[in-house]
Homo-oligomer: A and B are copies of this chain.
Amino acid sequence: MRLRVDLLPHGEYPDTVIVVDVLRATTTATVFLEHHADRLLFSGSIEESLDLKSENTIVAGERGGLAVAGFDLGNSPIEAGTGSYAGKTVVMNTTNGTYAARVASESAKHVLLGALRNAHAAARKAKSLAVEEIAIVCSGERGRASLDDTYTAGVLCEYLLAMGEFTLNDGARIALTLRRQVGDPIEPLSSSSGGMSLESKGLGEDIRFCARISESTIVPTLQGSTDGQVIFVSG
């Protein structure tokens, strides 16, 4: 089977994709489902998110790490973990992560959301679904490869390689080398440009939360998409 890491979203995905935006969208998405949200809806814009506000929705997201006017919540996994969302749809819109998830949803058969928090579970689920290829798609930071997502892709690759044989693309080799060189996730996460930006806004606790590996077995899984709205449920 092929194991491919795209350091940025790119092109067509024929089979199973794990979308990664470890700081913070895919970590926070996982936490919303841990706290019993019925489903996550990744919207295409701030305006669309606000239009979806209702009694049964919570609207969450950020721009440049900060809360958006009119949204109920930001993109903090710690903040997300303080609520309970049973019976609710959480609408998310973020700078990088929700875009990557939407790109992957256009072509892939299966789309999962992965982070360090659910890395082992996401790798296991991808392995059980994939027939010919697992693609780990990093969201990156405003169109550039990011250290935090590349590292997380390396952790996912490491788990997958323990589960079977794969042929690796260049991105997978780069990500694995980074993971093997840097053992402690706090280092790449806090020295990444996204991490430094969070730290400067007083959100350093979120980085440390996102750096914890495989504490969750919840894997947000694409249920379907309609009218450009992409829906994930607990898998």
Indicate whether A191 sits within 8 Å of B169 (C-beta atoms), given known contacts A6-B144, A7-B145: no
Please determine whether A169 and B193 come into contact, CB atoms closer than 8 angstroms.
Answer: yes
CA distance A192 to B6 in the complex (A): 14
Cross-chain contact A10 with B143 (CB below 8 angstroms): yes
Q: For residue A11, which residue of chain B has the nearest CB?
A: B143
Would A193 and B170 count as touching, CB distance under 8 A? Answer: yes
Cα–Cα, bound, A101→B90 (Å): 44
- What mask results when residues 133 to 158 of chain A are scored 1 for a CB within 8 Å of chain B, else 0? 00000000101111110100000000
Q: A178-B178, A180-B181, A181-B181 known; A173 and B144 CB under 8 Å?
A: no
Residue ID in chain B nearest A147 by CB atoms: B170
By a beta-carbon cutoff of 8 Å, the part of chain A in contact with chain B is: 6-8, 10-11, 141, 143-148, 150, 169-171, 173-174, 177-178, 180-182, 188, 191-193
Q: Which among A10, A150, A170 has the greatest number of chain B C-beta atoms within 10 A?
A: A170
Contacts of A171 in B (CB 8 A): 144-145
Q: Which residues of B contact A148 (CB under 8 A)?
A: 170
Known: A7-B7, A177-B177. A170 touches B182 (CB 8 A): no
Cβ B192 vs Cβ A170 within 8 A: yes
